[in-house]
Amino acid sequence: MAVRDLNVLFLASEAVPFAKTGGLADVTGSLPGALKRLGVNVRLAIPFYRTIREAAFQTRAVLNDLHVPLGREILPCRILETETPDKVPVYLVDSPWFYDRPSIYGEGSQDYGDNMERFCYFSHAALAMSQRLSFRPDIIHCHDWQTGLVPALLKGPFRQMGASSVFTIHNVGYKGLFPEWRWDITGLPWEEFFHAEGVEYWGLISLLKSGIVYSDAVTTVSPTYAQEIQRPEYGMGMDGILRHRQVFLRGILNGADYRLWNPSSDPHILSHYGPEEMSGKKVCKEALLRELNLDGSMAERPLLAIISRLDNQKGFDLLLPILDALFAMDVGLVVLGSGDGHIQWLLQEAERRHSGRMRTHTGFDEPLAHRILAGADLFLNPSRYEPCGLTQIYALKYGTVPVVRGTGGLEDTVHPLDYGTGEGTGFKFYPYDGWAFFGALREAVAAYYNPPLWRRLQTNGMHTDYSWDRSAGDYLELYQSLKVAGK
């Protein structure tokens, strides 16, 4: 089968550069472009959020009179079209009632109360749109619980479309749980779909389970995470379902868009550099210290960085108790992120104790993230679990050596230093324990003061290739197998 004959529609709740809250948006914004470079006819659909409207992307209306069923109602819908920087067509599902809001999923720490309606509407609208447009997908690639209804719809009310579905789990912890009395919103027949082998999850509706059970193939974002989520300690209650579907489950590592994340061309950093000429990294470090008003003496000492959601899942319950011991090693620390208010307060308290050597910047600031990766020496990711992680991949390219817990995609992308051969790209620990983490940090700090070894570590990391092109080839192989099998 020729690749050019393969039509793939991506469905997601967010995608760069249009809307982003996390790594999901990086994947859905970059992977379609990599597939297009392989010759796939690929398109993307996302909701038309207020943030997209306000960003004034060039759009055109392609459908003005779509009617979308939602429970007992039929609601109007408009479909607009724009494109990614890779010239991938993007369909924007426009319903101001659902999407003209300040945020994507909720405000403050509260999800929107009608998120089930918002994303069931999106799922129905995307399939109704596909029936009206000349583009007819062979494969519909769905991402996370927000699109988990689609594989079930393709086995039920939309089975005549004949499209196969791929469902990607970006984080099994988000199950898309809703009370069963809201079942009518799904548009699925109760008897056929609401049972223990279907969408029902302990008396609730789980849109994540819907995607897992009814898709023709399930993927997740790293090979190690695909194995971990089949075990109780990582499966978040979905491990039995995933073991049942293990023949259809595959881990495909996320990739990096090196056009955006590359110190040799990054527009956000003061001085470009690469593995053969590293002097620009010292310039970037000094500039970062000035920008964050940190002690200039840190230019000659290890500067550590964390870019992360402020959540104990990300290992802050390991980091916070060892901070004072860490600063006793005469290091600096920069934290960029937002999330749990108590974690933020504890970080700010530590910053007061270690004035001039620690800075916490709360909120989302992507240009600053680039400058931090360019200016820091060590990148920390001690996650309890990590489906893939992208920032440690970016850190490798910037010569910022990772210190990570060996779980999920961190296990797959960071290889521990071998002192005998000089091979390896970072430092790892395995027990979820603060002092195990501290031991890895102490080893990394010691390596920093061994310049030949440190330069070797940096160079090894900068030469690694985790580009999307490799991952896109794995997805293409999966799509082709589904089409040939007629699934």
Mean pLDDT of 324-338: 96
82 DSSP 8-state letter = E
Phi, psi of 90 (to 5 degrees): -125, 125
Q: pLDDT at residue 215 above 70?
A: yes
Q: pLDDT at residue 473 above 90?
A: yes
Q: pLDDT at residue 476 above 90?
A: yes
Q: How far is CA 254 from the centre of its chain?
A: 8
Q: Which residue has the tokens 């104790």?
A: 353
The structure's pTM equals 0.93
Q: For residue range 346-387, what is the model confidence (pLDDT) as tens digits?
A: 999 999 999 999 999 998 798 999 999 999 999 999 999 999
pLDDT at 22: 83
Q: For residue range 136-166, what is the model confidence (pLDDT) as tens digits?
A: 999 999 999 999 999 999 999 999 999 999 9
Q: For residue range 24-63, what is the model confidence (pLDDT) as tens digits?
A: 999 999 999 999 999 999 999 999 999 999 998 999 999 9
Phi, psi of 47 (to 5 degrees): -65, 150
Mean pLDDT of 439-446: 98
> Three-state DSSP class for 398?
coil
In the chain, residues under CATH classification 3.40.50.2000 are 3-255+468-485, 279-462
Mean pLDDT of 182-208: 97
Domain 3-255+468-485 CATH superfamily: Glycogen Phosphorylase B; (3.40.50.2000)
**Enclosing H/E stretch for 44:** strand 41-47
CATH code of the domain occupying 279-462? 3.40.50.2000
pLDDT at 108: 79
CA angle 222–380–371, rounded 5-degree value: 100
